Structure 1
Amino acid sequence: MTTHEQARSRKERRRDTLARLTDDKDSWIATASPDGQPCLVPLSFAWDGATLVMCTRRSNPTARNVASRGEVVVTLGHTRDVVHIEGTAEVVEGSALAKESADTFATKLRWDPRNRQTWVYLRITPRVVKAWREENELKDRLIMSDGRWLD
């Protein structure tokens, strides 16, 4: 018989999610082209306290999809500890990203693409965040709705 940890409260999930956003470096980002062609790629990220900041080549499908549709899904973790983020995204030129956000990205990932012409930032604002580990947390996995953390 499999036993699972007790389900976390929404407050505990929010705390754990914010820790993951601060500490984790890698994620999966899903976008779609204007005609609906899906694209799923791994990208590193930094959390600036309100948005996820990623970087990719401007010619990659992910950047093109964000520019045309502005919608993304980002996931952190593995299948037994998931953070699922649905958000709006925008492409930001290196020199146009707020200095604090660009500094956070450069410090966390030890790479500074601000002056690289072929690279752009993706700034993602979460709208919906869900977090769960096992089946016992599926029912109450929603921890952010309409861009607001739930109590």
Structure 2
Amino acid sequence: MASADTDIVAVLQHPTSQDLLANSIARLAYVAPDGTPRVVPIGFLWNGSTVVMCTSTNAPKVRSLGADPHVALTIDTIEFPPKILLLRGTVELDTVDGIPAEYLAMNSDQMMVPEQRQAWEVEVRSLYKQMVRIVMTPTWAKLIDFEGTLPTAVEELVRERDEREQREAGE
């Protein structure tokens, strides 16, 4: 039997996962100080072992994640069939002076024409004197592509249907 770490690596190395990890937006779920769940869209960069997100030092999620570092992340597509990468893990917060390189990289030139990129970067550098790097280490991963993998509940229904059909064919 494969270890959980091996399973995570296999999921993350799958070509569909690699395509999803090349996206620029995910949904970050965490628990707010009042105990209620929060989900926010956030830019990210996959560096091959961790997911790096960046935010302002005064963002509400910074206080929440400092109190409870457990998170979930969803990266998906809207095409049919959808492709979904689900991650769970913990985050470490790192306040840095200026703009983290990952923040600049995740907002790539491919998203903007050069003039837009230049204006955006000037604005960002004038706005953020510090930023918080949110570094997520995945401890669980699941890829759902509706071709080779399904949601767990659907897998269970398929298995039950197949068993029922086998019993009925044997009668």
TM-score where L is the length of structure 2: 0.61
Does residue 1:125 correspond to 2:163, yes or no? no
- Counterpart Cα distance in 2 of 1:118 and 1:14: 35
- Size of the aligned set, in residue pairs, is 125
The 5 Å alignment of 1:16-95 reads 16-21=16-21, 23-78=22-77, 80-95=82-97
- Find 1:106's aligned residue among 91, 104, 117: 104
Gaps of 5+ in 1: 1-9, 141-151
**Contact residue 45 and residue 102 of structure 2 kept, 8 A:** yes
- Larger Rg computed on CA atoms: 2
Give the share of equivalent positions with the same residue, in percent.
23
Q: Check the 8 A contact 2:11/2:141 in 1, yes or no.
A: no
Computed over aligned residues only, the root mean square deviation of the Cα atoms, in angstroms, reads: 3.0
Separation in structure 1 between the aligned mates of residue 56 and residue 12 of structure 2, nearest angstrom: 36
> Which has the larger share of strand?
1
Name stretches of at least 5 consecutive residues in structure 2 with no aligned partner: 1-9, 109-120, 153-171
In the TM superposition, residue 103 of structure 1 has moved relative to its aligned partner by: 3.0
Check the 8 A contact 1:84/1:129 in 2, yes or no: yes
Distance 1:71 1:49, change over 3 A: same
Q: Distance in 1 between matches of 2:57 and 2:147?
A: 39
Conserved 8 A contact 1:58-1:64: no
Of Structure 1 and Structure 2, which has the larger fraction of its residues in helix?
Answer: 2
**How far apart, in 1, do the equivalents of 2:139 and 2:16 lie?**
18
Contact 2:97 2:131 in 1 (8 A): no
